[in-house]
Chain A
Amino acid sequence: MGYAAARGGLQAIEAAEKLVARERILGQSSWLDTDQIIEKLRLAVDRVMSEGGLWDEQLAASALRQAEGDPIEAAHLLRSYRSTLPRIAYSTPIDADDMVVLRRIVPAFRNPPGPQLLGRTTDYTGRLLHTEDDDTQRTNAEKMAAYIQENVTNFPDNDDDKNHDRSSRSPRRLLELLRDLDSVVDRRRSDDPEPFDITRHPARPPASRSARLATMARAETGALVNVWYRNILGPDGYLHEITLGEVRHGRLPVRMLHPLTGDEITVSFVRVTEVEAIEDLNGIDEDRGRFDVGYGLCFGHNEKKAIAMANLDIACERDQGRSFLEQSILLTTDGLDASGFLEHLKLPHYVTFRSMMERKVAIRQHQEASKNLESK
Chain B
Amino acid sequence: MNTPLLQEILGNASRTDTNLDGSSSFKAQTLNFGLLDEYSKREIRRAILTAVAVPGYQVPFGSREMPVARGWGSGGLQISLAIVGPDDVVKVIDQGDDEGVNAVNLRRLIVSSTGIPESTTPEDSTLIQTRHRIPEDPLDARHTLVLQVPVPEPLRGVERDMRELARMHAEADYARMWVSLYEDKVRNGVITRTTGYPCLVNSRYVIATTPIPRWDIPRLHQSEFLSLFGAGREKRIYAVPPHTDVEPLTFEDVPFEVEKTPGAKCRNCASNNTFLVEVLATDVRQSYWVCSDSDWCRRHRELSDSSSQGLMT
Please report A residues at the B interface, Cβ cutoff 8 Å. Answer: 1-4, 6-10, 12-14, 17-18, 21, 25, 34, 58, 62, 66, 76, 79-87, 197, 199-202, 204-206, 321, 324, 327, 331, 336-337, 339-344, 347-352, 354-359, 361-363, 366-367, 369-370
- What DSSP secondary structure best describes chain A's contact surface? helix
A219 → B minimal CB distance (Å): 14
User: Cβ of B43 and Cβ of A341 under 8 Å apart?
Assistant: no
- Closest approach, in angstroms, between the C-beta of A195 and any C-beta of chain B? 14
Please tell me which stretch of B34-42, B174-182, B265-273, B302-310 contacts chain A, meaning at least 4 of its Cβ atoms lie within 8 angstroms of it. B34-42
B105 A13 Cβ-Cβ under 8 A: yes
Chain A nearest Cβ from B41, distance in angstroms: 10
A13 and B6 contact, CB distance less than 8 A: no
Closest to A342 in B: B71
12 contacts between A and B (CB under 8 A): A62-B25, A83-B65, A87-B37, A202-B60, A202-B236, A205-B162, A327-B161, A336-B70, A351-B96, A354-B213, A358-B194, A369-B189
B170 at interface, CB cutoff 8 A? no
Which residues of B are found within 8 Å of A13, using beta-carbon distances? 101, 104-105, 108
B70 and A358 within 8 A (CB): no
Complex CA gap A18/B31 in Å reads 21
Question: Other CB < 8 Å A-B pairs besides A4-B279, A13-B108, A337-B70, 11 of them?
Answer: A17-B10, A80-B64, A83-B40, A84-B31, A204-B162, A321-B163, A327-B162, A340-B69, A344-B69, A347-B94, A348-B95
Contact for A359 among B65, B190, B278, CB less than 8 A = B190
B222 sits at the interface (CB 8 A) = no
Contact pick for B102, options A21, A337, A347, CB 8 Å: A347
B277 at the interface (CB under 8 A from A): yes
Nearest residue (CB) in A for B39 is A86
The distance from the CB of B60 to the nearest CB of chain A, in whole angstroms, is 5
With a cutoff of 8 Å between Cβ atoms, the chain B residues found around residue A85 in the complex are: 37
Q: How far is the CA of A25 from the CA of B236 in the complex (A)?
A: 39
Q: Is B214 an interface residue (CB 8 A)?
A: yes
What CA separation (Å) do A340 and B259 show in the bound complex?
30
Residues of B within 8 A of A (CB): 1-2, 6, 9-12, 25-26, 29, 31-32, 35-40, 43, 60-67, 69-72, 74, 94-97, 99-102, 104-105, 108, 131-133, 150, 160-163, 166, 188-190, 192-196, 211-215, 233-236, 257, 259-261, 275-280, 292
Known: A4-B279, A62-B26, A200-B43. A348 touches B161 (CB 8 A): no
A2–B214 CA distance with the chains assembled, in angstroms: 24
Q: Kindly state the separation between the CA atoms of A225 and B133 in the bound complex, as whole angstroms.
A: 39
Distance in angstroms between the alpha carbons of A57 and B132 in the assembled complex: 40
Would A344 and B72 count as touching, CB distance under 8 A? Answer: yes
> What's the least CB distance linking B97 to chain A, in Å?
7
- A25 partner residues in chain B, CB cutoff 8 A: 9
Contacts A85-B37, A327-B162, A348-B100 given; does A356 touch B194 at CB 8 Å: yes
Question: Given contacts A4-B279, A367-B189, is CB(A341)–CB(B63) below 8 Å?
Answer: no
* CB neighbours of A366 from chain B (8 A): 188-190
User: A59 — nearest CB in chain B belongs to which residue?
Assistant: B25
**A351 & B36 in contact (Cβ 8 Å cutoff):** no
Among the listed A7, A81, A355, A357, which residue makes an inter-chain contact with B214, where contact means beta carbons less than 8 Å apart?
A355
Bound CA–CA A201/B235 (angstroms): 8
Chain A residues with CB under 8 Å of B235's CB are 202
What are the 4 A-B residue pairs with the smallest beta carbon separation, nearest first? Answer: A344-B71, A340-B70, A366-B189, A79-B65
Q: How far is the CB of A314 from chain B (nearest CB, A)?
A: 21
B65 contacts A370, C-beta separation under 8 Å: no
The answer for the CA separation of A143 and B72 in the assembled complex, in Å, is 51
Residue contact A352 to B65, C-beta cutoff 8 Å? no
Residue of A whose beta carbon sits closest to that of B261 = A358
A230 CB, nearest partner CB in chain B, Å: 16
With both chains docked as a complex, state the minimum distance between the C-beta of B208 and any C-beta of chain A, in angstroms.
13
> How far is the CB of B212 from the nearest CB of chain A, in Å?
8
Q: Give the chain A neighbours of B257 by CB distance below 8 A.
A: 362
Name the CB-closest residue of B to A363: B188
From the candidates A9, A80, A343, name the one contacting B99 in the complex (CB within 8 A).
A9
Please give me the residue from chain A that is nearest to B282 by CB atom: A2
Known: A9-B104, A80-B66, A204-B60. A355 touches B188 (CB 8 A): no
Are A351 and B101 in contact, CB atoms less than 8 angstroms apart? no
Are B194 and A7 in contact, with the CB atoms below 8 A?
A: no
Tell me which of A3, A8, A324, A349 contacts B161 (CB under 8 A): A324
| Complex Cα–Cα for A339 and B150 (A) | 13
Contact of B278 among A84, A340, A357 (CB under 8 A): A357
**B71 and A352 within 8 A (CB):** no
- Which of A3, A347, A351, A358 has a CB less than 8 Å from the CB of B72? A347
The reply to whether B25 and A58 form a contact with Cβ atoms under 8 Å apart is yes
B163 in contact with A355 (CB, 8 Å): no
Cα separation A363 to B257 with both chains bound (whole Å): 13
